[in-house]
Amino acid sequence: MSNIYGLTEEQEMMRDSVREFADGEIAGIASEIDRSEELPLDLCKQMGEMGLMGMTVPEELDGAGLDMVTYCLAIEEVTRASASIGLTMAAHNGLVVAPIQMFGNEAQKKKYLPPLARGEVLGCFCLTEPQAGSDAAGTQTTAVKKGDKWIVNGRKIYITNGGFAKTAVLTAVTAPGQGTNGISSFIADTDHPGFIVGTTEKNKLGMRGSNTVELLFEDLEVPEENLLGGEGEGFKNFMKTLDGGRIGIGAMGVGIGQACLDSSVKYARERKQFGKPIGTFQAIAHKIATMATELEAARLLVLHAARVRDAGKPYTRPASMCKLFASEMSMRASNEAIQIHGGYGFTIDYPVERYFRDAKLLEIGEGTSEIQRHVISRDLLNLG
Question: What does the alpha-carbon distance between residue 116 and residue 53 come to, in Å, rounded to a whole number?
Answer: 7
Which residues form the catalytic set? 366
H-state helical runs in 93-215 = 98-103, 106-117
Number of H-type helices and E-type strands within the chain? 12, 10
Question: What does the alpha-carbon distance between residue 289 and residue 286 come to, in Å, rounded to a whole number?
Answer: 5
What lies within 8 Å, CB to CB, of 97 at 6+ separation is: 53, 54, 56, 57, 113, 116, 117, 123
Look at residue 89 and give its three-state secondary structure. helix
CA angle 257, 245, 207 (to 5 degrees): 50
Question: What does the alpha-carbon distance between residue 164 and residue 144 come to, in Å, rounded to a whole number?
Answer: 26
CA angle 254, 165, 258 (to 5 degrees): 10
What lies within 8 Å, CB to CB, of 26 at 6+ separation is: 43, 78, 81, 82, 85
Look at residue 118 and give its three-state secondary structure. coil
Question: What does the alpha-carbon distance between residue 244 and residue 69 come to, in Å, rounded to a whole number?
Answer: 12
Question: What does the alpha-carbon distance between residue 167 and residue 19 come to, in Å, rounded to a whole number?
Answer: 28
> What is the Rg, in whole angstroms, of the alpha carbon atoms belonging to the chain?
21
Say which DSSP state 220 is in: E
Look at residue 146 and give its three-state secondary structure. strand
